[in-house]
Amino acid sequence: MAVRTHRHSHKAVVIGGSVAGLFAGNFLARQGWDVRIYERARESLASRGLGIASHGELEDLIVAAGATVPSPLGIDVTGRSAIDRHGETIARFDYPQQLAGWTGVFRSLSARFPADRYHSGWELSGIEPSGGRALARFSNGEAVEADLIVGADGFRSSVRAAMAPHVQPRYAGYVAWRGAVEEGALSDAFRAETVNQFCFCFPKGSEFIGYPVPGDDGSAELGRRRYNFLWYYPVAPGAGLTDLLTDARGVVHEYSIPPSLVRTEHIERLQADARDLLPTKFLEPFFAASHYLVQPIYDVESERIGFDNVALIGDAAFVARPHVGVGVLKAGQDARALAQCLARDASIAGALAAYDAERLPEGRASVAAGRHLGAFIERGLDGPWTDPSLDLRVEDIIRVSGRPVQKRQAAIGNAP
Ligand SMILES: Cc1cc2nc3c(=O)[nH]c(=O)nc-3n(C[C@H](O)[C@H](O)[C@H](O)COP(=O)(O)OP(=O)(O)OC[C@H]3O[C@@H](n4cnc5c(N)ncnc54)[C@H](O)[C@@H]3O)c2cc1C
């Protein structure tokens, strides 16, 4: 990307200092913008991520943002497979891919962005127009004026709430229970079986995925990595979800619940289901995990992501269900597209209109693809094969979810 520096005097405020915010901060800073990032969390976000499926383009984006690709970025796997309840292989797909750690990507983007321009513990409370510029107000009483506000504040974006309050996350009817285990704590037999594989199974109306990711220290060495698993597990909308999100003191958490507050009865039910439904080999990592994270799955579909001087990027703009595995990639693509539009167009409003036109179709396509891949779980079907009208075979699920979104439609029903 051509780096343009003609906007020296222009100031950007980025709300949210996770991957999307850091991508945007780095891209804009490279173009000469005076950028500051404001992140609500007081503590570092580095420890929060688990595994992400990575694509070649992610490396290109990290480099284009001026950051250093973590070495290694991830674990090389040779393929994907799906097994049945008894451990028999029901589908295979040779697909060399890197399975990265979210933390490595976050750390590398963070290392590139000037620490004195990253403000932790600042929560956006509102946005106001201010004489052709925009004013970001924070809950600590401060206000910052800027030529551009970038909303990189995730799926419950306050920036989106200010610009398009009617766009709300829509619960998909299931949650993801996630866990990770140090590989050193797992048996040699398990490691040997899973070493190069991204593995799927479909226990009664759900979907379970397991794959290795780099260790906490970034290590890709066998035995020092972690095994990451994710179980898409139906929880009824309404009372069912509210019950899961209600802690032992009766406090209802609106969108998700910290792992330590999940009630014991929910963990016990999950573990009982694991004993009944998971193929034997997955019981080992499942029960070795010290805790489980639960993340309800939501769709977010914006109608507009570029306003006069406010842009939405990453999960603030669109959230596709994680089956498509493109959240981090899309965050980087959005940030790059935004920076490119700003470099091309003389006016910020014109650049944001161009950004909106360029990225809306991609965002919509990724949400639609995620819905399609998760429809059988949402509808409580006992596997993707039970309703042919879904046009979704196990082969498609394991292939399609491994590809960047623009190739996905071509891949459905047309796998190599
Ligand atoms: C179960 C699951 C599995 C996933 N697997 C993958 C995968 O394999 N591959 C992949 O690419 N992606 C995956 N994702 C998606 C990926 O994690 C996200 O898409 C990605 O992290 C989006 O980054 P973001 O910066 O847009 O949002 P976030 O990471 O949500 O960051 C938003 C930031 O904004 C801050 N913030 C919020 N409100 C305010 C405010 N008012 N003021 C200031 N700051 C604020 C938050 O504290 C947060 O740090 C998965 C997601 C889930 C739930």
- Long-range contacts formed by 87-96: CB under 8 A, 24+ apart: 87/279, 87/280, 87/281, 90/394, 91/200, 91/393, 91/394, 91/395, 91/398, 93/395, 93/398, 93/399, 93/402, 93/415, 95/198, 95/399, 95/402
CATH superfamily of 11-68+104-169+299-373: FAD/NAD(P)-binding domain (3.50.50.60)
Compute how many other C-beta atoms are within 10 angstroms of the C-beta atom of residue 296. Answer: 19
| Domain layout of the chain by residue ranges | 11-68+104-169+299-373, 74-97+171-297
Q: Ligand 1, residues 13, 14, 15, 18: which to mutate, most atoms within 8 A of Cβ?
A: 18
Give the position, in ligand 1's atom list, of the atom nearest the Cα of 38.
Answer: 43
CB atoms inside a 10 Å sphere around CB 263: 15
Q: Which fold has domain 74-97+171-297?
A: D-Amino Acid Oxidase; Chain A, domain 2 (3.30.9)
How far, in Å, CA of 125 to CA of 164, rounded? 15
CA distances from 356 to 234, 310, 350 (A): 34, 11, 10
Gap between the Cα atoms of 95 and 360, Å rounded: 29
Q: Which of 39, 73, 142, 228 to mutate to test the pocket of ligand 1 (most atoms within 8 A of CB)?
A: 39
Ligand 1 centroid, distance to 249 Cα (angstroms): 28
The separation between the first and the last C-alpha atoms of the chain, rounded to the nearest angstrom, is 32
Complete DSSP assignment for 281-316? HHHHHHHH-S--EEEEEEEEE-S--B-SSEEE-GGG
pLDDT tens for the 416 residues of the chain, in order: 433 333 457 999 999 999 999 999 999 999 999 999 999 999 888 766 666 776 778 999 999 999 999 887 788 888 889 999 998 999 998 888 778 778 889 999 999 999 999 999 999 999 998 888 999 999 999 999 999 999 999 999 999 999 999 999 999 999 999 999 998 899 988 888 777 788 999 998 899 999 888 887 778 888 888 898 999 999 999 999 999 999 999 999 988 898 899 999 999 999 999 999 999 999 999 999 988 999 999 999 999 999 999 999 999 999 999 998 889 999 999 999 999 999 998 899 999 999 999 999 999 999 999 999 999 999 989 888 888 888 888 888 887 655 444 444 444 332 22
Q: Which atom of ligand 1 is found nearest the CA of 20? A: 25
d(CA 275, CA 14): 45
- Tell me the C-alpha distance between 265 and 91, whole Å: 35
Q: Which residue minimizes the CA distance to atom 52 of ligand 1? A: 322
Those residues with Cβ within 8 angstroms of residue 373's Cβ, 6 or more apart along the chain or in another chain: 321, 323, 324, 392, 397, 400, 401
> Any idea what DSSP says for residue 251?
P
**What is the whole-number distance in angstroms between the Cα of residue 102 and the centre of ligand 1?**
10
Q: Enumerate long-range contacts of 273-277, CB under 8 Å, 24 or more apart.
A: 273/203, 273/233, 277/85, 277/203, 277/204, 277/206
CA distance 377 to 386: 11
Ligand 1: centre distance to CA 46 (Å): 12
